[in-house]
Amino acid sequence: MGIFHFDTPQKVMKIGHIKVGGQPGENPPVLIANMFQTGHKIVEKRKPPQWDKAKALDEIKLVEEMSEATGIPAIMALVAPTEDEIKAYGEWFLSVNDTMVFQIEAWTEESRRAAARFVRDAGVQDRFNYNSISAWDPDIPDQVAELKECGIKSVILQPFDTEDKRATGRVKSLRQMLKDIESGDFKSVMVDTTTMNLPTQGFCFLANRMIKEEFGLPVGNAPANGSYMWKDAREQWGVRAWQGVDAAMHGIGAMMWSDWMHYGPTTGTHRVFSAVAAAVAMLTVMAWDEGLELPEDPTHPLNKHFPTEVEFMQGLRTARSDRLMDRQKAKGAQ
């Protein structure tokens, strides 16, 4: 095992047309954008739900355009804490977009279950990602049973241990959660390593590595939770400086074993997609030097943006890992 290679076979999940997971550099991380969150200017009223549909559609198109331009796949998350909002935002989204993978973000377990029922009734389970089954939920097996009944195929797990808030606690919690969801027969399972704030995002990155090493599951979190909470950076240094912090959080996250990231409001789309595309290109080169095959997908950020550099790498006789292996074999033969 290297820094950017795992001996444990890595699972690649498929949700709709999106692949998530694998060895570092194999597939670019999926970026998840928010709509209709608290403070979103396009939302005019919550009861009953009213919003600027033209601007909302523009935001979806922006995410799709940046996804295509950068080679970074995207999911749209509709923030809908009530059943009325789930129905209103969900029906509208499905009426204007028939391909994009989506989530419905709700804070309570009952609202999340209501989202699953909406998806069941709409018959769009194949392009829906359930967010999430949480370690705080009081009856995970019962929730899993309802999700199975609704035909939900893709879920995010959010492990956490209140007695051990370090990376080790997240791994311990996940072990139990995986037992609790066995009966769900989910085709895609992603793990949220639970961002708390900016500095303790380091625990999330360590948990990413530990979970991929032990289970081979796709892992990620919400770096935006950390950057948006650091209000002092915006107040002391200004918006442009804070935007640099936000972009850096996601670029670093892409290198620190994240298979997906929740980047918050669509206002961050340009900076986050471009930062992650650059990070993925560098990550893939480091992973290649540890033995990863160069990606064949022409939309992979390394191939899409740096074809000359890829050609140069293909012309190199061997990767460093191959040379080390050759030397070890030679020593063994002596």
What CATH number does the domain containing 53 carry?
3.20.20.20
> Rounded to whole angstroms, how far apart are CA atoms 181 and 184?
5
Residue 7 lies in a domain: no
- Give me the pLDDT at residue 1, please: 78
pLDDT tens column, 85-122: 999 999 999 999 999 999 999 999 999 999 999 999 99
Which pLDDT band holds residue 288 (cuts at 50, 70, 90)?
Answer: very high
Residue 87 lies in a domain: yes
Residue 1 lies in a domain: no
User: In terms of residue numbers, what domain contains 226?
Assistant: 12-333
> Rounded to whole angstroms, how far apart are CA atoms 228 and 243?
10
Residue 202 lies in a domain: yes
| Cα-trace Rg, the chain | 20
DSSP string, 200-238: THHHHHHHHHHHHHHT---EEE-HHHHHHH-HHHHHHH-
- Give me the pLDDT at residue 316, please: 87
For residues 299-327, give the mean pLDDT: 83
- For the entire predicted model, the pTM comes to 0.94
Q: Are β-strands 74-79 and 102-105 bridged in parallel, bridged antiparallel, or unpaired?
A: parallel
Q: In the block, which residue shows the tokens 């027969």?
A: 185
- Give me the pLDDT at residue 158, please: 99
Number of structural domains in the chain: 1
Residue 58 lies in a domain: yes
Residue 180 lies in a domain: yes
Burial class (CB in 10 A: 0-12, 13-18, 19+), 121: exposed
What 8-state DSSP symbol labels residue 7? S
For residues 257-277, give the mean pLDDT: 99
Residue 115 lies in a domain: yes
Residues facing residue 133 across a β-bridge: 157
Residue 3 lies in a domain: no
